[in-house]
Structure 1
Amino acid sequence: MTTNTGARLRSNVAARLERLPMTRYQRSLFAIIATAWFFDSMDLGIMTFVLGSIKTEFGLSTAQAGLLASSSFLGMFFGAAIAGMLADKFGRKPVFQWSMIFWGVGSLLCGFAQNVEQLMMFRILLGFGMGMEFPIGLSMVSEIVPAKSRGRYVAILEGFWPLGFIAAGILAWLTLPLIGWRGIFIALSVPAVFVFIVRRYVPESPRWLEEVGRTQDADRVTTQMEQRVIALTGGKPLPTPMVSADTGEKVNKRALFAELWRGVYAKRTVMLWALWFFALLGYYGLTTWLGALLQQAGYEVTKSVTYTIYISLAGIPGFIFSAWLLEVWGRKGTCVLMLVGSAIAAYVYGQVATAQAPVAQLIGAGLCMQFFMFGMWSVLYAYTPELYPTRSRATGAGFASSVGRFGSLLGPFAVGLILPMTGHTGVFTLGALSFAAAALIVIVMGVETKGKSLEEVSS
C-alpha cells in the first residue's frame, strides 16, 4: 500500500463523519452517553449534601471530613489516567461500560460501610469508575459529532453535571430524613444497570477503529451511521466527503503518552494540566464543602441542603450560556471569561458568608458563583479533547482529567485544614486565587479550536 493510499484510508472515516448532518440518530447516541454521565454526576455530587450528616454520625474533625470528601478524587486520579490509555488501546465502548460497573458497585458498598475507613475505601472505588467515565465520554461524543456542532454538544454533555448535581440535592432533600445517607448511596447504585443500554445501542468509535487499523470495522460502523442518517433525512443523498487535513504520516497505533510531549502537543499538555489542576482545586475545594459550611454557620441540615440546591440552579443557565458562547466567540475567550467570573464570584461569596449577610444576599452571591463555575466546566470538557489527535485523544483527555483530580483531591482536604484557621474568608479566597491562576494560564498558552475539524486541529 502506498503512503497516499494509506492517507486516504485513514482520512476516509473522518471525512465521511464530518459531512453528516445532525439527526435524531446522533442525538440519541449523545443522549445515551449523557444519561450515563448524569447518573455518574449524581454519585459524585451527593457528597456535597451528605458530608455534614456523615461528619456528625462518625464524629469527624474538619480535617477528617476533608479527607473523606477527597477520597473519591483519589480514585478519579487513577481512573482517569488508566482509562484514557485503555480506551486508546482497546476501544472507547468497553472501557466506558466498565466505568459504570465500578462506580455502581462502589456506590452500593458505600451504603454498607461500617466506619469511616471503609467509607473512604469504597468512595475511592466509586471515584475510580467516575474517573474512567469522564474522559471516555468526552472522546466518544467528540468523535461522533461533526465539527460544526461538536463544541455545543460537548458543552451540553458537561451540562448534565449541574443537572446531576441538582438532582442529587433534590434526592438528598427528599430522602435524607427517611433513609439516611446510606440509603441514598444504595439508591444511586441502581442506575449502573444502564450499562446494558450502552452495550446494545452505542457503537464503537469509527475514528478509533480506523486509527488502530481495523478499517473494515470502521467502514462497517460508518456505513451503518450513514444509512441511519439517510433514513432520517428522507433518503436525501449525503454531501461529497471533504478532503481531510490528515498529513498521511505513519501512525503509531499504541496509546502514546510520549506523544503528549511532542511538538505542539507539549505546550497544550502543559496548559491543560495546569488549567485542570487549578480549576478543579478551586471548584471542588468550594462545592464539596458548601453544605457543611452552611451547617457550620448555624443552618440546620434541611436548610443547608435547600440553600445549596437553590445556589446550584444557576448552573443550568451557566452551562447553556457557555455552550452558546463556545461556538459564537470561541473556546479560549469563553474559558477565560468563565474562570475570571468564577474567581470574582467566589471571593464575593466568601465575603458575604463571613459577614453573615441576609439569606437573599447569600443565595444571590452563590447563584453568581455557580453560574460561572458550571459554565467553566462546559469549556473544559469541550476544549480538552479537541487538542489531541484521535490515536491519543483519550490518553490526553484522561491525563488532563487525572491531574485535575489531583487538584480536586487536594482542594477539599486543604479546606478542612485551613477552615479552622482562616474561616470562610480564607476558604473562598483560596478558590478565587485558583481560578485566577487557571485563567492566566489559558491567556498565555491557550489556542483556539472553534470551527475546526479534529483532524485540522491535530495536523
Structure 2
Amino acid sequence: MAPAELRVTSGRSARLDALPFTREHRKLLVGSGTGWALDAMDVGLISFVLAQLNVQWQATSTELSFIASSGFLGMAIGAGLGGLLADRIGRRQVFALTLLIYGLATGASALSGTIAVLIAWRFVVGLGLGAELPVASTLVSEFAPPRIRGRIIVILESFWAVGWTLAAVIGFLMVPASADGWRWALAIGAAPAVYAVVVRLGLPESVRFLESRGRHREAEATVRRFEKSAGVAAPGAEVAAQAPAPVAVVKPRVSALWSPGLRRRTGALWLVWFCVNFSYYGAFIWLPTILVASGFSLVRSFAYTLIITVAQLPGYAASAYLIERWGRRRTLAVFLAGSAVSAVLFGLAGDTTQVIGAGMLLSFFNLGAWGALYAVTPEIYPTGIRATGAGWAAGIGRIAAILAPLAVPLLRDMGGTGLLFAVFAAFFVVAALGAFGLPEKQGEALED
C-alpha cells in the first residue's frame, strides 16, 4: 500500500451525506457550474478562431494544429498540478486561482499579433483550464448527497454545454462580423478572471479536506451552514466537538494512484479519459474548419456548429437521469457506444441534413458520456488523493487532446472525413470497453 499518514475524521461527513439537496447545495452547484461554463466557452471559442485564422491569416493546418495543441499541452500539465495542489491547499483555493489564470491569459491572447504569440498564450490559458475541471468536480462531489451524487455531477458537467453553446453564439455573431472579430471573442473570454473573486468569497471549502487538515472548527461551521439550509437542528455541543476517529489517509502522491488496491481502476480510468479526449477534441475543435473544408461557407459552418452544439443539452439530461438508474459503468459504456455509431454516421454523411443529424447524435451521446465520466472519476479515490486522481486522469486525457488536433489534418489527407471519424469511432469503442474496469459506486458514501 502507498505511504499513508494518520489523520482524523468525524461524523461530519456522515451528517452531510444524510442531508437532502438544499439551497446551499444549489448555490455550490450553480457557482461551480458557472466556472465550468466559462471554461467551456473558452475552449469552444478557439474552434471558431481557428476557422477565421484559416481564412484571414491563411494559416496552414499545421499552424492551426499547434494553436489548438498548445492549449491542450497546458491543460495536461495544469490538470496534474491542479489536482496535487487541491489535495494540499484546498479545492476552493485552486478553483479560484485557475479561473484567474486562464481568464487573464485569454484576454491577453486577444492582443496576439503573430501565431507564435497566440500559441504561447494558449499554453498559459491551458494551465488554468486543465486544473479547474477536476478540482470543481471533486469539490461538488464531496458535498453531494450519495443517493444523487452522480446526477449532480452530470448536471455540473452539463454547464459545459451552456458554455460551448455560448461560444457558438459568440462565434456565429461576432467572429465573422469583422477582421478583428476573433479578438473581440477572446476578449469576452477574460470574464473568468472577474468570476474568480466570486468563487473565492462565495463557495465553501470541502469539509472532508478541512478535516484532513485538522481545521475542525471550519469544517463544523460549513456542515452547520448546510444543515441550517435543510432545517436540521444543531447537534448537541458534545456531538459537534467530539474527538474525531483516526483513519489512515493516503498522502497526495501520484504513486499512490498505482497502489495495489487502486491500480486497476486507475489504469481503466486513464484509458477511458485518453480515448474520450482524443475523439471529442479531434472532432469538435476542428468541426467548423472541417465544415468549411467540405464546401460550406464560414457563416453557414458556424450556424451548423451551433445547431449541433445545442444537442449536447438533452444528452446531459438523459445521462443525469440514467446514471442513478443504470449505474455509472453501464451509463458510461452505453453513451460511448452511441458516440461510436454517431461518429461513423457523421463520417458517411453526404448532404446537409445528414451532417446536422449525425452531428447532433454525436453531441448527444458524446456529452452524455462526458457527464458520466466526470461523475465516476472523483468517486473511486479516497479523500487524501481524490483531487490528485481526478487531476491526473484529466491530464492523461489532455495528452490525447494534444495529439488529436495534430492527427486530424494527417487523417483527412489520408482518407478524408470518413477515415477521420472511423478512427474516432474506434477510440470510442475502446473507451466503452475500458469503462467496465471501473468500480461501481452508485449510492455509496465517498471513501475518507
Q: Give the shorter-chain TM-score range.
A: over 0.9
RMSD: 1.9
| Code of the aligned partner of 2:65 | G
Unpaired stretches in structure 1, ≥5 consecutive residues? 1-5
Q: Which residues of 2 match residues 261-410 of structure 1 at below 5 A?
A: 261-352=258-349, 357-410=350-403
CA distances 1:8-33 after superposition (whole Å, capped 9, x unpaired): x5142211111111111210111111
Determine the structure 1 residue equivalent to 2:97.
98
The CA distance in 2 between the partners of 1:387 and 1:446, in whole Å, is: 8
- Tell me by how many angstroms 1:64 deviates: 2.1
Retained in 1: the 8 A contact 2:249–2:383? no
Q: Percent identity?
A: 36
The CA distance in 2 between the partners of 1:82 and 1:237, in whole Å, is: 38
- Tell me by how many angstroms 1:62 deviates: 1.6
Secondary structure of the corresponding residue to residue 41 of structure 1: helix
Retained in 1: the 8 A contact 2:102–2:192? no
The CA distance in 1 between the partners of 2:275 and 2:102, in whole Å, is: 25
- Tell me by how many angstroms 1:214 deviates: 2.2
Determine the structure 1 residue equivalent to 2:134.
135
TM-score using structure 2 length: 0.93
Determine the structure 2 residue equivalent to 1:3.
none
| Code of the aligned partner of 2:303 | T
Is residue 446 of structure 2 the alignment partner of residue 446 of structure 1? no
The CA distance in 2 between the partners of 1:413 and 1:132, in whole Å, is: 22
Determine the structure 2 residue equivalent to 1:82.
81
Secondary structure of the corresponding residue to residue 386 of structure 2: helix
CA distances 1:205-229 after superposition (whole Å, capped 9, x unpaired): 1110112222232223222332233
CA distances 1:254-298 after superposition (whole Å, capped 9, x unpaired): 413222111321111101111100110011111111100000011
Is residue 113 of structure 2 the alignment partner of residue 114 of structure 1? yes
Retained in 1: the 8 A contact 2:98–2:131? yes
Retained in 2: the 8 A contact 1:84–1:396? yes
CA distances 1:335-388 after superposition (whole Å, capped 9, x unpaired): 100111101110110011xxxx22112111111111101111101100100000
The CA distance in 2 between the partners of 1:13 and 1:98, in whole Å, is: 27
- Tell me by how many angstroms 1:161 deviates: 0.8
The CA distance in 1 between the partners of 2:435 and 2:337, in whole Å, is: 11
Change (3 A) 1:395 1:429: same
TM-score using structure 1 length: 0.91
Deviates more, 1:9-18 or 1:145-154: 9-18
The CA distance in 2 between the partners of 1:282 and 1:341, in whole Å, is: 13
The CA distance in 1 between the partners of 2:11 and 2:433, in whole Å, is: 39
Q: Which residues of 2 match residues 191-270 of structure 1 at below 5 A?
A: 191-230=192-231, 249-252=247-250, 254-270=251-267
The CA distance in 1 between the partners of 2:19 and 2:148, in whole Å, is: 11
Determine the structure 1 residue equivalent to 2:3.
none
- Tell me by how many angstroms 1:247 deviates: 9.4
- Tell me by how many angstroms 1:250 deviates: 2.6
Secondary structure of the corresponding residue to residue 250 of structure 1: strand
The CA distance in 2 between the partners of 1:338 and 1:251, in whole Å, is: 34
Matched pairs, number? 435
The CA distance in 1 between the partners of 2:256 and 2:72, in whole Å, is: 26
Determine the structure 2 residue equivalent to 1:23.
22
Unpaired stretches in structure 2, ≥5 consecutive residues? 1-5
Retained in 2: the 8 A contact 1:58–1:116? no
- Tell me by how many angstroms 1:66 deviates: 1.7
The CA distance in 1 between the partners of 2:12 and 2:162, in whole Å, is: 33
Retained in 1: the 8 A contact 2:227–2:234? no
- Tell me by how many angstroms 1:163 deviates: 1.5
